[in-house]
Amino acid sequence: MSITTSRAYDIVVFGATGFTGVLVAEYLATRYPHLRLAIAGRSRSKLSEVQGRLAEVSEHKVRGGSGEARRMGDADFVTLPGGWD
């Protein structure tokens, strides 16, 4: 059986610029290259760094952008809580 979807992304990793967020995003990008993965965070410059890092470990197409993340109501989400330090 084939499942078709109109979602822009399969998973959005919120908090992708933090330590755990980077690990989760790298894991998903390398282990599940078929997923349409997006990353979200508060710092655009840090998101760009993470996006570049993911490009090094995988040929995965990763989208980043703080404004775009707000419009992703049709994706499954990975939310990473902050402030645990």
Query: Does residue 7 sit within a domain?
Result: no
Where in the sequence is the domain holding 43, given as residue range(s)?
15-79
Instruction: Assign 78 to helix, strand or coil.
Output: strand
Distance CA 51, CA 46 (A): 9
Query: Does residue 72 sit within a domain?
Result: yes
Query: Does residue 70 sit within a domain?
Result: yes
Residue 27's pLDDT band, with cuts at 50, 70 and 90, is very high
Query: Does residue 3 sit within a domain?
Result: no
Neighbours of 66 (CB within 10 A): 12
| Residue 67 parent element (H or E) | helix 66-69
Which residues, in sequence order, are CB contacts of 45 under 8 Å at separation 6+? Answer: none
Query: Does residue 26 sit within a domain?
Result: yes
Query: Does residue 58 sit within a domain?
Result: yes
Query: Does residue 85 sit within a domain?
Result: no
How many independent structural domains does the chain possess? 1
Report how many helices (DSSP H) and strands (DSSP E) the chain contains, helices first: 3, 4
Q: Taking the model in full, what pTM does it have?
A: 0.67
- Phi/psi for 77 (5° steps) reads -120, 145
Instruction: Encode pLDDT of 39-72 as tens digits.
Output: 888 888 888 888 888 877 766 555 555 555 555 5
Is the pLDDT at 85 greater than 50? The verdict is: no
Is the pLDDT at 84 greater than 50? The verdict is: no
Query: Does residue 67 sit within a domain?
Result: yes
